[in-house]
């Protein structure tokens, strides 16, 4: 498991959680040790990407079997999820727009602020 942690940057507890959720199914040796393959590493990367996008582990569990690698491209194989994934995509698009608006507001504040070299030294507050 330590090698998987090193390769993915994901903590052991999360790897166990993904396994409990049925998202990750490493091979098990008779001794109980997990053996992770290169495809397991890619699965963890996909899980992390989908979690970052805001998908639930339940939805990720439905999406992962639908994604297969084919000539270095991902090919969706489950058309029944398309409508739900389009809704998720729209939600992500709206979140991006909100973040861009926030960034633009910060840009205005930063631009309006005096440059660091022009800043006056902080004066202590007196009470």
Q: Give the global pTM.
A: 0.73
Classify residue 66 by its DSSP letter.
G
Q: Determine the 3-state secondary structure of 37 from DSSP.
A: coil
The confidence score (pLDDT) of residue 81 equals 87
**Where along the chain do its domains lie?**
1-77, 79-114
Each residue of 72-87: pLDDT tens digit? 556 666 888 888 999 9
The confidence score (pLDDT) of residue 102 equals 97
Under CATH, what is the fold of the domain 1-77?
Answer: Multidrug-efflux Transporter Regulator; Chain: A; Domain 2 (1.10.1660)
């Amino acid at each position: 498991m330590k090698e998987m942690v090193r390769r993915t940057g994901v903590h052991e507890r999360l790897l166990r959680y993904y396994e409990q959720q049925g998202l990750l199914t490493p091979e098990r040796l008779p001794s109980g040790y997990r053996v992770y393959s290169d495809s397991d590493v890619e699965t963890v990367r996909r899980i992390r990407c989908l979690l970052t996008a805001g998908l639930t582990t339940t939805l990720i569990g439905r999406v992962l079997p639908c994604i297969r690698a084919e000539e270095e491209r991902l090919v969706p194989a489950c058309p029944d999820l398309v409508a739900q994934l389009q809704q998720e995509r729209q939600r992500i698009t709206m979140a991006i727009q909100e973040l861009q608006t926030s960034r633009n507001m910060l840009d205005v504040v930063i631009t309006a602020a005096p440059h660091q070299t022009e800043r006056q030294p902080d004066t202590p507050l007196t009470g």
